[in-house]
Amino acid sequence: MYERSEFMPHYVGMVSLVGEQPIANLVPILYFKPQYVDFICTDRTRKIAEHSGSVLKETVGKAHFPIESEIWEVDPYDMLTIETELNKLSSQRNWDPEEVIFNLTGGTKTMAISTYRIAESLGAPFCYLISEDRQNMIHTYRSSPTRDLQFLGQTKASDVIDIDLYLRAHLGEYDEGSPRHPFERLVYEVLKSECDEVKTSVRPRSHGNIEIDFVVRKDSTVGIVEVKGGQQATKKRALEQIITAAEAPFLGTYTKRFLVLDREYTPDNLELARSRRIVVIETPSAQEGKFSDEDELKLRTAIREELGI
């Protein structure tokens, strides 16, 4: 993990706009591995920037490559003020357009526009992290001297994060356990054979009322899996738990969402799940103590399709 592709351009610095999703900052940073990062935040997102910087420092310390970071606070909506502050930063850093890249994924729309204008005036590249075909892709562009937009390429951000980093970036410290019920153990065995990583009974210390049955990862895509059997599998509460765990203040919009049941769900709940991008896998054979071949394949297929396996 964290190895650089020999064909990947090297940037000395990165300017990264901070929004509510820390992964939008950390994935490009850990992929490009600049020597320093300037986090551009607002008063509302300063804590996220500070936490991202702390997580980054701990992560790169373990990986033995140095990345320094600083935080710069700007107005979220006043474009003139934003550009003034960025121009001050540009003068201080004396950016070489061949050595700096701008990450426009986070921040407000006005921050992105202002930062794009700075990148355009310098002729420096800028990038954007998107979830594409169930994979995290970084698209990179540059404005030519004639201000034509040039597409420099796209790359899959492979193996730059693990579950521990993902959880610490979003939630801070956490505890984990082991499968507690027979149905959970059935699901765990399938997940373990399909994913690069599985963590069980994850309980964020900062949110004592939340427990996630499974957190899974394949490559750099992370998902949460809630498992419900018996009467619990008929209720909307299971969906509400996933919706809460995947909200922006918790694990965020880059997180895939699964609900595994040991019976069929009601049509109303299925429709609600679809509207919230939650994949529901119904496995009624689990009531007999093991999956049928059909239900096991159904679970494996859903995991593979959503995590890009």
Looking at domain 163-307, its CATH class is alpha beta
pLDDT at 4: 40
The answer for residues whose C-beta is within 8 angstroms of residue 217's C-beta and 6 or more apart is: 161, 162, 163, 166, 195, 196, 197, 198, 223, 307
pLDDT at 209: 76
pLDDT at 252: 76
Report the 10 Å Cβ neighbour count for 88: 11
CA dist 184 and 258 (Å) reads 13
21-60 burial code (b ≥16 CB/10 A, e <16): bbbbbbbbbbbbbbebbbbbbbeebeebbebbbebbeebb
Residue ranges per structural domain of the chain: 13-156, 163-307
CA dist 212 and 174 (Å) reads 11
Instruction: Say which CATH architecture domain 13-156 belongs to.
Output: 3-Layer(aba) Sandwich (3.40)
pLDDT at 12: 93
Q: Provide the pairing of β-strand 212-218 with 13-17.
A: unpaired
pLDDT at 134: 65
Q: Please give the average pLDDT of every successive group of 10 residues along the chain, which has 309 residues.
A: 50 95 92 95 96 89 79 96 96 93 96 97 94 78 90 87 91 90 95 96 84 92 91 79 73 87 89 90 94 96 87
CB 51 within 8 Å of CB 22: yes
Query: Can you read off the two tokens belonging to residue 294?
Result: 């059909």
pLDDT at 64: 62
